[in-house]
Amino acid sequence: MQIKQSENGENQNLSKNISIILVEPEHPNNVGAVARAMNNMGFFNLRLIKPCDYLSGGKEGAKTLAMHSQDILKNAKVYSCLSDALVDKQVVIAFTNRARGQHKSLEVSWNLEKIFTDIRHDYKIAFVFGREASGLTNAEIDLCNICMKIPTFGNNTSLNLAQAVIVILYEASKVLNKIGNTKSENINLATSNHIENLKLNLFFVLGKIGYIKNGNKSKRWSVFSKLIADKFLTEKEVNIMQGILNKIKEYIR
């Protein structure tokens, strides 16, 4: 079922704020199947990080599997790294089947409704899916607010990329249908770009005062990334913290 504007315009308006991001997809057929899954569920913003040659021809190519969804492939935005694809995003949800980095536990996909109802509906949201073979790196996880898994109950816990995407988008579309007519508090979350700049400024100060030393920077970065991501900081809160850090830098000088 494709969700059309005439049938559920509010749902589609909300879905425009959600981007599906594939990190280094290896197989064109997976990219095509993801595009079709997105079209089925009413999502149209696809971002790709260093993808395979997904627009090449061939019987098993992306265009063949993207049934009636070639426009999604054509309009997909390509980036060289995940951080570049997230600069305008305010909530970043990564999908993985095992805990990574400082995310010692994973949310489960059936809690997506609770997460959506806890945040404002017009926030810029990213759903991030990792490589078919190796998933996401710890550094990429550090860019995300939430890590989520899709529970499985058989012997094989790993889903095909397109299968994982359509499961999540089905859950998301159900939630968007429910919350379409509700009002939200007018609070602006900071974007990923603002958060990463805050972390860079923080680590500059921590390095100057000797808290960051050789050998512990990577671990400390992950710890502080998780701590900050959990808080869903607003633009105002980030600006306040940046102001404090800049005053500390002046004092150090």
Structure confidence by residue, pLDDT tens digits, 197-238? 999 999 999 999 989 887 788 889 999 998 998 888 999 999
Quick: pLDDT tens for 169-199: 998 888 887 765 444 556 788 999 999 999 9
Burial of 221-232, coded b for 16+ CB within 10 Å and e otherwise, reads bbebbbebbeeb
Residue the block writes with tokens 């808290």: 211
pLDDT in tens, 64-79: 777 788 899 989 999 9
Give the domain 192-252 fold. Answer: Helicase, Ruva Protein; domain 3 (1.10.8)
Across the chain, mean pLDDT equals 85
- 208: β partners: none
In the chain, where the domains are located: 5-179, 192-252
d(CA 23, CA 163): 16
Q: Residue 113 is encoded by which pair of tokens? A: 């409704």
3-state secondary structure of 162: helix
CATH homologous superfamily of 5-179 equals SPOUT methyltransferase, trefoil knot domain (3.40.1280.10)
What tens digit of pLDDT does each residue of 1-29 get? 233 333 455 555 568 889 999 999 999 99
Check whether 168 has a pLDDT greater than 80: yes
